[in-house]
Amino acid sequence: DTAVSQTPKYLVTQMGNDKSIKCEQNLGHDTMYWYKQDSKKFLKIMFSYNNKELIINETVPNRFSPKSPDKAHLNLHINSLELGDSAVYFCASSRGTGSNEQFFGPGTRLTVL
């Protein structure tokens, strides 16, 4: 029944590696997002896709590449991981219209050693 799911929940990796985080929503929403939450709990939008098209791309290093194979999925691939990439990454989805409530996944805690 999970509305927005992310895998993995925890990811520990070495600097320089490449990793992916997957996100799926079963709400039928058209819009999906990736957010980064740092150790101080500040939440920043990274990307947003609407109907598989990129609509928001904040000033995120191009080591981060989102991919949306279909409306229900938005994956995040990160190349050449750096220490500063350690954070919790949240996926979210919304209808994109009206009140535009966002539904969040449980988060992926990425630790780069």
- When asked if residue 92 is in the footprint of another protein (CB under 8 A), the reply is yes
DSSP H helix total and E strand total for the chain: 0, 11
User: Residues 34-53: x/- map of binding to another protein (CB under 8 A)?
Assistant: -x-----xxxxx--x-x---
User: In this structure, what are the phi and psi dihedrals at residue 90, rounded to the nearest 5 degrees?
Assistant: -115, 135
User: Minimum Å distance from CB 74 to another protein?
Assistant: 13
Which residue's structure tokens are 């991981």?
Answer: 81
- When asked if residue 4 is in the footprint of another protein (CB under 8 A), the reply is yes
Q: In this structure, are residues 17 and 67 in contact, taking their beta carbons and an 8 Å threshold?
A: no
Within 10 angstroms of residue 110's Cβ, the number of other Cβ atoms is: 21
**Which residue, 66 or 105, has its beta carbon nearer to another protein?**
105
User: Minimum Å distance from CB 94 to another protein?
Assistant: 8
Q: In this structure, are residues 26 and 3 in contact, taking their beta carbons and an 8 Å threshold?
A: yes
User: Minimum Å distance from CB 15 to another protein?
Assistant: 25
User: Which positions touch another protein (CB under 8 A)?
Assistant: 4, 31, 33, 35, 41-45, 48, 50, 55-56, 90, 92, 94, 96, 99-107
